[in-house]
Chains A and B, each alone.
Chain A
Amino acid sequence: KAGVTQTPRYLIKTRGQQVTLSCSPISGHRSVSWYQQTPGQGLQFLFEYFSETQRNKGNFPGRFSGRQFSNSRSEMNVSTLELGDSALYLCASSLSWPNTEAFFGQGTRLTVV
């Protein structure tokens, strides 16, 4: 059974640009959540999608957005990148709700220069 796949693994962008990260959940999982991990702030919740609907959103500016497709794959987009957006972005997929187990991808390392 394939795990959670995040692409790309590494990304370097310039301030002001936008970026799109992709997450393919485990087959059959309908819930996808996104987290930002930084040394200073730790792991912070961005948003969660279930059956193409955003059900929960963390405390991030509107530059951070996401969506989920009918096959449960999810993308997150960050517009007008800032240096502080440099982080490891982790995607987690869950089979059901409430969340009794989440499987994480290896993450996308975003560096903004």
Chain B
Amino acid sequence: AQSVTQLGSHVSVSEGALVLLRCNYSSSVPPYLFWYVQYPNQGLQLLLKYTTGATLVKGINGFEAEFKKSETSFHLTKPSAHMSDAAEYFCAVSWATGNQFYFGTGTSLTVIP
């Protein structure tokens, strides 16, 4: 069965510190990989995606993620956290065989001033 695991439902970092949010998937077929951010009472906004090509992808707001096939991981990073980064982050996967997203359970990021 395909699944997405986000380690750590809550992550706290100090303003200016490194942000690292973890995502692993389980599938024998490499999927398309996505990170979405959700602010309170809002929908999901795409941060970045990996479909093919370069495994290090850069997204909006200074975020980036690296697809590591050998580790089945797609961790999200940002060198320096900003207060406005406080939100819920979701890792998601899909496959070329369908249009359905499978989401992780989400990681709530808190930024401490």
Are A56 and B100 within 8 A (Cβ)? Answer: yes
Q: How many residues of A contact B (CB 8 A)?
A: 28
Once A and B bind, how many residue pairs between them come within 8 Å at the CB atom? 70
Mark the stretch among A12-20, A66-74, A76-84, A102-110 that contacts chain B.
Answer: A102-110
Counting CB contacts under 8 A, is B49 at the interface?
Answer: yes
Are B43 and A43 within 8 A (Cβ)? Answer: no
A35–B102 alpha-carbon span in the complex (Å)? 10
Are B99 and A97 within 8 A (Cβ)? Answer: yes
Partner of A103, one of B42, B46, B92, B103: B46
Are B99 and A90 within 8 A (Cβ)? Answer: no
Who on chain A is nearest to B90 by CB?
Answer: A43
Q: Please give the distance in Å from A47's CB to the nearest CB on chain B.
A: 9
Which residues of B line the A interface, CB within 8 A? 32, 36, 41-46, 49, 51, 90, 92, 94-106
Given contacts A42-B103, A90-B43, A106-B42, 8 further A-B contacts (CB under 8 A): A42-B105, A43-B90, A45-B100, A50-B99, A56-B98, A99-B98, A106-B43, A107-B41
Pull 23 A–B residue pairs with CB atoms less than 8 Å apart, ordered by A: A4-B43, A6-B43, A35-B103, A42-B104, A42-B105, A42-B106, A43-B101, A48-B99, A48-B100, A55-B99, A56-B100, A58-B100, A92-B44, A97-B99, A98-B32, A98-B94, A98-B97, A99-B100, A100-B51, A101-B46, A102-B46, A103-B46, A104-B36
